[in-house]
A and B are shown apart, each in its own frame.
Chain A
């Protein structure tokens, strides 16, 4: 690869690696975000949320009013590209605190998932590291668990980030297991495995529709997402029903609801 056009920029130093400067700057921005936002926040009211939008921003202000008619509170997650997984993980475990039957089901699915992932070719040695920590966090539900203990765990990088990594592996595993189905939903000339290693497994990679479908199916957890964008005057809600199209007659009522604002997921609490 020859470097062309260097002469046209007198300030260009060919011995300097500018890409690394860009990456270093990116790291700095990530640090600022980390310092300013908790990974999972305390509860907010919508009166606090509405202040994020200027008086002139009528559409968003109106949509916050719409949310107020159905939801009481909101918990914010850190905008670090992992927000969907963190919101999903926290909201779900919080629900499990008061649903022993669903906890038991989930615990078994989570326990078994390790061998399935190893069967798909994930390296056992490093996978176990994440699975162990994942299960430690899951078990906090039965200790008996409290919302505060979960909140602390989800704000402890060594637990919270490892939990996110494992959810990412579950998504990757589900996509790979059903590659013939998902290949049509992947853009670019990529295999499902390549998509997983580029867009799912690495930390900080944001989630799209396909990630959500995959996680709800992998764990068999129906969820609802309220979409808050510039279209219309109400939020559009969408239910991800993992049982759709199957013979499974499990109740598809969403277990919890997330709020999507362009590029970001938070957790909603109903009235």
Chain B
């Protein structure tokens, strides 16, 4: 059987449902369209995002997994590697050469053997350890670097908002 995006996405969905990584839930928005996924990511423990539940959307291209999906948080989140409109900017979402941020060479890039799970795990570590060298949100990167207390305060508000409090 020929490889196809749909076949792969169905297999990944099944895999994520059977063995969900800690703090991550993800799947198609509706089972009629496997190319749009919704994900819920829990803020990692012992970080300023702990306790929050952050919703995001993943949009897969028709040639997935040859090309990576795009990912966007649908909630407010102030973070150096997330654009103000929610788009996530980390190296694994880009093939080498397609990196608008000019990531350091050792950073992990997209390749067809990566997976949704690998992306979501990278996003969790991005929440724990922002990379202020390649900032998508310059304000957030500055605050993270120069005013950690202020950053933590904003994160706390984000966490509360994400829980609808």
What are the residues of chain B within 8 A of A159 when measuring CB–CB?
Answer: 2-3
**Which of B27-35, B36-44, B45-53, B104-112 touches A?**
B104-112
Q: Is the CB of B111 within 8 A of A197?
A: yes
**In the complex the two chains form, what is the Cα distance from A133 to B133 in whole Å?**
40
Among A3, A125, A157, A202, contact of B111 (Cβ-Cβ < 8 Å) = A202
Q: Is the CB of A165 within 8 A of B66?
A: yes
Q: Is the CB of B113 within 8 A of A127?
A: yes
What are the residues of chain A within 8 A of B113 when measuring CB–CB?
Answer: 122-123, 126-127, 130, 165, 169, 201
Q: Is the CB of B3 within 8 A of A1?
A: no
Q: A133-B2, A136-B1, A161-B66 known; A1 and B141 CB under 8 Å?
A: yes
Q: Is the CB of A162 within 8 A of B2?
A: yes
Q: Is the CB of A198 within 8 A of B105?
A: yes
- Interface size class on chain A is 35 or more
What are the residues of chain A within 8 A of B132 when measuring CB–CB?
Answer: 1
Q: Is the CB of A20 within 8 A of B112?
A: no
Is B115 among interface residues, defined by CB-CB distance under 8 A?
Answer: yes
Q: Is the CB of A188 within 8 A of B3?
A: no
The number of inter-chain residue pairs (CB within 8 angstroms) is 91
Among A132, A156, A188, A203, contact of B112 (Cβ-Cβ < 8 Å) = A203
Q: Is the CB of B2 within 8 A of A202?
A: no
What are the residues of chain B within 8 A of A158 when measuring CB–CB?
Answer: 2-4
Is B129 among interface residues, defined by CB-CB distance under 8 A?
Answer: no
What are the residues of chain B within 8 A of A188 when measuring CB–CB?
Answer: 105
Tell me how far the C-beta of B45 lies from the nearest C-beta in chain A, rounded to whole angstroms.
25
Tell me how far the C-beta of B17 lies from the nearest C-beta in chain A, rounded to whole angstroms.
13
**Which of B71-79, B95-103, B149-157 touches A?**
B95-103
- Which residue of chain A lies nearest to B83 when distances are taken between CB atoms in the complex? A17
What are the residues of chain B within 8 A of A3 when measuring CB–CB?
Answer: 138
What are the residues of chain A within 8 A of B97 when measuring CB–CB?
Answer: 202, 205
Among A2, A132, A189, contact of B138 (Cβ-Cβ < 8 Å) = A2
Most A CB within 10 A of own CB, among B96, B98, B100, B113 = B113
Q: Is the CB of A125 within 8 A of B100?
A: no
Is A129 among interface residues, defined by CB-CB distance under 8 A?
Answer: yes
Is B63 among interface residues, defined by CB-CB distance under 8 A?
Answer: yes
**In the complex the two chains form, what is the Cα distance from A136 to B7 in whole Å?**
15
Interface residue ranges of A24-80 to B (CB < 8 Å): 26
Per-residue interface assignment for chain A, residues 114 to 130, with 1 indicating a CB less than 8 Å from any chain B CB and 0 otherwise? 00000000110111011
What are the residues of chain A within 8 A of B95 when measuring CB–CB?
Answer: 202-204
Most A CB within 10 A of own CB, among B2, B65, B97, B106 = B2
Main secondary structure of the interface of B (DSSP, over half): loop
- Which residue of chain A lies nearest to B108 when distances are taken between CB atoms in the complex? A197
Is A19 among interface residues, defined by CB-CB distance under 8 A?
Answer: yes
What are the residues of chain B within 8 A of A123 when measuring CB–CB?
Answer: 113-115, 118
Interface residue ranges of B125-165 to A (CB < 8 Å): 132-135, 138, 141
**In the complex the two chains form, what is the Cα distance from A136 to B98 in whole Å?**
31
Tell me how far the C-beta of A79 lies from the nearest C-beta in chain B, rounded to whole angstroms.
16
Per-residue interface assignment for chain A, residues 193 to 210, with 1 indicating a CB less than 8 Å from any chain B CB and 0 otherwise? 010011101111100000
What are the residues of chain B within 8 A of A189 when measuring CB–CB?
Answer: 105
- Which residue of chain B lies nearest to A128 when distances are taken between CB atoms in the complex? B11
What are the residues of chain B within 8 A of A199 when measuring CB–CB?
Answer: 96
Q: Is the CB of A17 within 8 A of B111?
A: no
Q: A23-B100, A130-B3, A136-B1 are in contact. List 17 more A-B contacts (CB 8 A).
A: A1-B132, A1-B133, A1-B141, A125-B115, A126-B115, A129-B7, A130-B113, A133-B1, A133-B2, A158-B2, A162-B2, A194-B106, A201-B112, A203-B66, A203-B95, A203-B112, A205-B97
List 10 contacting pairs A-B, 8 Å CB cutoff, sorted by A: A122-B113, A123-B114, A126-B113, A129-B3, A133-B3, A161-B3, A188-B105, A197-B96, A199-B96, A202-B95
